Structure 1
Amino acid sequence: MRKKRLIQRIATYTVALIALLVVMLAWYAFSTFSILSAELQTEAASILAVYGGQYGGRVAQMDKLLQNLLLQKQTTLLLLKSASEAKRFYAAQDIHNYIQDLVIADQSVGVFVVADNDHQICVDASTQPIGYADREALRGYAVLCAADAATPRGWRIVTLNGQTYLCRMYVYNNRVAAAYTATSAFLATVPLAQGGEQTVILTDGDGVIADFSGGALARADIGRALSEVKIAGAQAADARLADGALGVHLRIRSAVVWNQTRIIMAVMLAVILAALLFGVLIARYLRREMVRPMQRMTEDMRRIDGGEYALRIQGEYDTREFTLLKDTFNRLMDVIVHLRIQTYEKRIELREMELRSIRLQLRPHFFLNAITTLSSLSGQGKERELKAYVDALSRNIRYMFKSGLHTVPVREEIRHVENYIEMQECKYPGCIFHFIDLPQELEGWPVPQMLIQTFVENEYKYAVSLEDVLTLLIRVSRETVGDEEMLLIRIEDDGRGYPEDVLRYMNGDAPRPANDGERVGLWGVKRMMALMYERDDLIRLSNIEPHGCANLILVPQRPLHEYQEKPLPA
């Protein structure tokens, strides 16, 4: 099936988008006005719920600050009635400082006044500077209320010196603590939307208008009952504060509905025209900045896929993304080519290691020793021992000729080790006691060929003697290393142990001397494990007390590299 071009898809989607926008405009013009009209009442209630929460929060904060004053300065307030004029003076000063700190820290209260009628004490503090006449009016009203024991404690709205205040006071024992806030400042707690369509009205408990914010009322309406004031074409929402002592009322004019409808329709039309224009511009831009560069890149990638590995994406691109894509692709191609070269080099190294491994196994002194042993047994007339030695030697040589960088089941490696020990028994009769522990469930685990035999051969070369009996233990078990299951081969003896320099370079703590001809077999095994599994931590050698050594070999379940020489033609 022929695939569509990118620019065609973009053009199709742009036309579909514009058609969808036209349908949306027609539907919106039909439904917006009716929806906005229906939602205006809900909006009024929602707005007032938000406004009412903020107004109620300010009322609660004013009450809280006043109660804090009465609780924190309870003892000091009692001193206002002290017989000592000095104590009264210092008490008044302390209260003044405290309320001054309150209004600085929290501007919910406009003015604090504390007065005592018995000693004509009156202190105050205000958030903002106020005139002398206003201050005296507030102080005088507080003193007057202190003298009147019947003064109610609740919230009230009072007008003093031509200014309307929201007032909360506590009166007891000819003493008063009052908090004032101008109603204009109280209504300014929540800023109204611009345009004058919203009006917030503050009333007392009887529904009499105390103040308002907005353009729906006139100043002459203050003092009238809200029920007597009608606002044409307005949606209403009402809320009560301070247990019904105050009322907050929101009025929203319906003219906002038509204004919003016209604005939305104009915006939608502008969006459609802009979408049409931008659709054309985007199509041209994508063709220049995306489609053509992608065509050039695709052509270069086809050539590279066809075998031109030296080719790289050429050309300069105006966009950062395509420049990054070009540079990243070229770097990846360099890495891929480099990895291919490394792979070929590793294969060569593996083959060289294979040849070296075979040469190490077919050491000349091995055959010389074998011939010497054969001659000795023949001269002594030990026909049965001679036959056993020849059988073991043939099996050993056959196994060595199959060796390479590949794996065999661990049971096959153990069988060869036992055959090797049987062959060496003819040369060192009764000089070694060996024990092999191989669980049946682990017999099929693949291990590198000649792995265990190399360590056993090292035992015969450096640890076995005709004077002493050497104990050799080979134990195979399963070990969890990190999140990986591995085979653990533990080879121990009670001989002399390893020299310190051998332990250092075999455990990776020091480099191996370049001209060191000792322990070639062990070093070859370490190198073989590193090549096959790409890990250098699989072999660990140590000496044990009082004497002897331990060889710990970890074998992962699968090798990463494996190489076996092709059989020679018969």
Structure 2
Amino acid sequence: MKKLNFMRPKSSLRIKLTLSVFIMTLPLVIMLLYNNFYAIHVVREQVADSYKNTLTLHMNQIDSNLNDIDSYMNSLVSNGYDLIAIKLAESEDQYYLSKSYLFTKLSQDIALYDSLGAFFVYVKDRNDYMDIYSSQISYPEGDSMKAYFVAMIDEQTIPKGIRTQRWQHAQVGGEHYLFNIIQTGEVYFGGWIKAEELLKPLKALKMGEGGVALLSDTQGKPITSSSFVYDHGISIQENLDDHYISGTERKYVVVGTESYRGNFKLIALIPDRNILANLPYLQQLIWVITIGALLFIPVGLYFMRQTFLDPIKRLLLAMSRVRVGDWGVRVNLEKDAEEFRILGHSFNTMMTEIQTLRINVFEEQLNKQREELQRLQLQVNPHFFLNALNIVYNLAKVKKYELIKEMSSALINYFRFLFRSNTSFVKLKDELEHTSNYLGIQALRFPGQLVWRVDAPAYLEYVPVPPLIIQSFVENSIKHAITMEEPLDIAVQVGFEEHSDGSRMKITISDSGPGFDDMVLRELQAGRSVETERGERTGIWNVQRRLKLLYNENIAIQYDNNEQTGGGAVVAIILPIHPEREE
């Protein structure tokens, strides 16, 4: 009996079919897997960047508060009569009288700093320690800190020299604190803060179930939530310029930022599974499709014989369209064999999921833009608020009650608008009223030094505009142009223009000050951000960024100096009349 030869030459139909299926299936599988891992990477990257920006914003606020306390302490050491009087006291009566005055002053001033736990004054040659607590500090805590500081001063272990990071970390009695001590002769003046108090504003930050915000020192050792870090095997690196993933059983995305006022860092631990909460179904489906595609090859080889050429041709044509970027392509194999119908359905399903994946990534980008827009709109200048309160206080001292009522009413209207301006658009009328109210506050602050006018046609009063854009440029003019020598004239004019691509509204803000510096003007006209080391001109950057997010490229901001009047800055903002169409 002749033995049958079941071997197939290389040119057999089975091999060709196998190669054809591999050529058709593997690129799609690879592309699908690549898009899957790429989408995960993009989502994680965007979420990490969003938390990084939020932490930076909170850290800037913490550093600003610490800097305010530093400035107060330095001012009291350099110019404070009560502290100097203690140093120069020649008799016991003079010493205790000066000490009493200093205690009263510090008791009043500590209320200005919400996060501050206590002030203390230690006169070494008299071995006399005086401290003033805030309401958040208990007496046992105060006694523990007293013993710690007295021992440190007696042992001469306090940091010395001029430093940027003046606030040092200390662990006393199981609690963590930040402290700053200034020495003037035999008198030591200092303040300290509970580390947990700095994290209270972050409780509103949503980091998902199991997420934690904490403080660490510059070497990566946790200051707060140390048990959480060690229990989950999380490594905190010294360099936090970029995010990374750490943890043993449960993975966390670690992002952080460093303080420039103290030797500590602010860190967020976000559960990685929470970041990808919207992707597990898509990931499972991708794996099911991938495994199904691999299992389909032997089944397809059994059924695809004489009727495979035309369906494969249609599939290959569809794939060629995918390669050139046509993600909406679909194939119809319903009239062919069952196997081809399955393959066609798998192909269409994969393309649908790819489109869905791309949409999810795009939606994450939109969410990030919305969060950034909200952060930009919620920026409040604390110095303006403190200056306004100082004006009210000085008016109360001279009993100018009518001006106090006027100032209080203006402040109420100002902050009412500020706290409700977290929407994308407000009426032009409301924005102009808010700007006028702001100018009224500044007129009380600089009596006789500010003149302004606001002109807008009535038919444009209800045009929607982004909030705080006019006030930001007016504030910039006052900040950089007002002097005590001659009044500053500020004009806000609104007009209507017709352009080839639609109706436009032109808002012009001009002042009679010295105008833009030549270098600053060139940078602004080139569309680049201008920001000094102290963070000045952030209002201009804020407006530019918000307008770009809301209108994309459909706006223009023009900067110039008024050559006809011999000086003065001129800013023109050109916006669409119907911004919702641009969105």
TM-score between the two structures when normalised by the length of structure 2: 0.40
TM-score between the two structures when normalised by the length of structure 1: 0.41
Larger radius of gyration: 1
